[in-house]
Structure 1
Amino acid sequence: MNRILIIAPNWIGDAVMSQPLLAKLKAQYPHSQIDVLASTWVAPIYRACAQVNQVIEAQLEHKQLQWSMRKKLARELQAQNYSACFVLPNSLKSALIPWLANIPFRFGYRGEMRFGLINFALENPSKVNRPPMVEHYCALASLLELDQAPVTAAPNPILTISHDAKGAVQAKLTAANINNESLYVFCPGAEYGPSKRWPTGRFAKLAQAVIAQNSNAQIVLLGSKADYSLGEKIIQGANGHPQIHNWCGSTSLDEAIALIGLCQTLVSNDSGLMHIGAALHIPQVAIFGSSDPQHTPPLSDRAKIMWLNLPCSPCHKRECPLGHLKCLDDITPENVLHTISLLR
């Protein structure tokens, strides 16, 4: 396998979870060139993967066929003579490009009428029996293991920070008079919905408690543009404390990766940024509500999970179907602060 193409998943967390597959393929074929076709949304994750030779960015939209764009990409990729392609999303449209590009070996899971588009496939496990995502992706490498080597535990994801991104973030911190020696990053968002978001009032009280405990602490709120209002509510709840900074929506994902890599402690919901923190081996507290920490945990021995394991959870709903959000609301700032102290 001289050249391998990866069709990336569409979510940041899933992209992080795919890095061990890249590491496994590189170990199996050390002289291969691994390229990744990714949407602009997740492309920065693969720029932080040491195994990747080239990230091919494409304006691929969620739930859109974009037939003309896919045909154009396929023509360009066909000229690169890839030996194999691993299609990580389960959709039919994600399998179209490698098929149109005539890549001979196309690996993936069965799903959404992809017969023929994927010519080497594994059975897609049910949602009930699905293994953790790292194992789910790494299993695809077994399709290349002709000697059927014994199955070993999948390694944890590892990301690296680019020199340029680190320099850009350090310049931003300096301009904002933020000393990163006592830097905390709080990530109040979660793309899936409110049932995965610890309430902003809880984040505000935690921020005040952290600063009361460490007068030099600087807290940066990190997330997407959609999370900016959450950041403002946290600052308002903390009485506009000048040591809390709302950077939601004002950093690129490359910069967000670098910022998390520079922080002393990360506190987040179950989100893509949580997985980035784990892959950077940063001390972190991960707060879970409606989702299952057994399926999507932060894979790091420096991570502490806070989950109440109530009878109604994990419900996997975007909003609390019972209307009380106890799975998150009953996690107190005091408990999170105590958990932060255990990270030392």
Structure 2
Amino acid sequence: MVKYLIVGPSWVGDMVMAQSLFMTIKQQEPDAIIDVIGPNWSVPILARMPEVRNAIVLPTSHGEWGIKTRLTIGKRLRDESYSKAIVIPRSWKSALVPFFANIPHRIGFKGEQRYVLLNERRKLDKNILNQTVKRFVSLGVNNQEAYPPNILPQPKLAIDKANQIELYKKHSLSQRPAIALMPGAEFGPSKQWPIPHFHELAKKLIEKGHQVWILGGPKDQQDGNEIIKDLGEYAVNLCGKTQLVDAIDLLEAAEVAISNDSGLMHVAAAVGTRVHGIYGSTSELFTPPLTDNKVIHNLHLECSPCFKRECPLGHTNCQYKIKPSSIYESLLN
């Protein structure tokens, strides 16, 4: 029996896509034990992945070295006697815990001179491993099969129906068919479809007989309020009022999720909801929602994808020129 410690990524969408790696390992080695170490926010989402035994919190902030903390955790994990470690991030510090835990086989991509920390350093050919999920899965398969992986399992998060029912009661949600809108763009404003566009689309959807939920974190509350302004009882701003685990259950209950290229878009894909993904500064070729039940909206302008946090040209036409009417019409088809 092989026992894995996997150092997970730092973003919600990436952690969802990492489930494809966990699924790959379990398909190859059904008796494998998988523990994942990641940020505190990742614990509830990892709990919805049946492949993962334990979620281990790494209590460091984004960008923090935290060598003493990593040493303490690594020493604590020595008693687990892990057989293998897979380090998904490419940073030097991310490989410290498996090293300190004395895990004999430590796998990761080449980068940041991790010669001692990793004893199997794999080449990252970005032309061949041209999607995030391919990079993750390739770390879990044999070298001969890693470029690219032959099979990419689609993430599938478990649902808590009791929590879903409770959320309907707690937030006084209607029984109308629900459509979830996710306006957040943690990476930067270049990934954000305009808030007035979200408002116009929400209005059309409510007039058509739907209820609209705005999902996101506390940072998205103001945007959520602007989207639902004057739209009545069937427009509900849930930004900052739900936990990530609640968003999983609510998205499964929605008929459709309309989202920027964001973590919640990947959550929606992983619960089987039909996803309309809006792309401009990023590309669906690199980070697509991992589902067959999707529609992609991308104008493919000459200036995109730029992968910048803010539009270098100052206009964000790749987002602005995707009109609410075009997305609304695609929902009807």
**Fold shared by both chains (TM-score > 0.5):** yes
Q: How many equivalent residue pairs?
A: 333
Instruction: Give runs of aligned pairs for residues 1-344 of structure 1, distance below 5 A.
Output: 1-126=1-126, 130-143=129-142, 151-161=149-159, 163=160, 166-180=161-175, 182-214=177-209, 217-236=210-229, 239-342=230-333
Deviation of 1:168 after TM superposition, in Å, equals 2.9
Distance change (3 Å), C-alpha of 1:293 and 1:149: closer
Looking at structure 1, the residues matched to 197 and 169 of structure 2 have their Cα atoms a distance apart, in angstroms, of 28
Two-structure CA RMSD over aligned residues (Å): 1.9
Distance change (3 Å), C-alpha of 1:129 and 1:313: farther
Q: Which residue identity lines up with residue 252 of structure 2 in the other structure?
A: G
Looking at structure 2, the residues matched to 92 and 148 of structure 1 have their Cα atoms a distance apart, in angstroms, of 22
Deviation of 1:181 after TM superposition, in Å, equals 5.0
Deviation of 1:117 after TM superposition, in Å, equals 0.4
Task: Tell me, yes or no, if the aligned pair for 2:25 and 2:141 is still in contact at 8 Å.
Answer: no
Q: Which residue identity lines up with residue 224 of structure 1 in the other structure?
A: G
Flag structure 1 segments of 5+ consecutive residues without an equivalent.
none
Deviation of 1:175 after TM superposition, in Å, equals 3.2
Equivalent position SS for 2:53: strand
Looking at structure 2, the residues matched to 51 and 34 of structure 1 have their Cα atoms a distance apart, in angstroms, of 7
Task: Tell me, yes or no, if the aligned pair for 1:221 and 1:231 is still in contact at 8 Å.
Answer: yes
Determine what percentage of the aligned residue pairs are the same residue. Answer: 36
Equivalent position SS for 2:118: coil
Distance change (3 Å), C-alpha of 1:286 and 1:63: same
Q: Which moved more, 1:173-182 or 1:33-42?
A: 173-182
Deviation of 1:150 after TM superposition, in Å, equals 9.9
Task: Tell me, yes or no, if the aligned pair for 2:85 and 2:105 is still in contact at 8 Å.
Answer: yes
Deviation of 1:172 after TM superposition, in Å, equals 2.5
Query: TM-score, with normalisation over the residues of structure 2?
Result: 0.95
Distance change (3 Å), C-alpha of 1:256 and 1:148: closer
Equivalent position SS for 2:141: helix
Q: Which residue identity lines up with residue 152 of structure 2 in the other structure?
A: A
Query: TM-score, with normalisation over the residues of structure 1?
Result: 0.92
Looking at structure 1, the residues matched to 116 and 175 of structure 2 have their Cα atoms a distance apart, in angstroms, of 52
Flag structure 2 segments of 5+ consecutive residues without an equivalent.
none
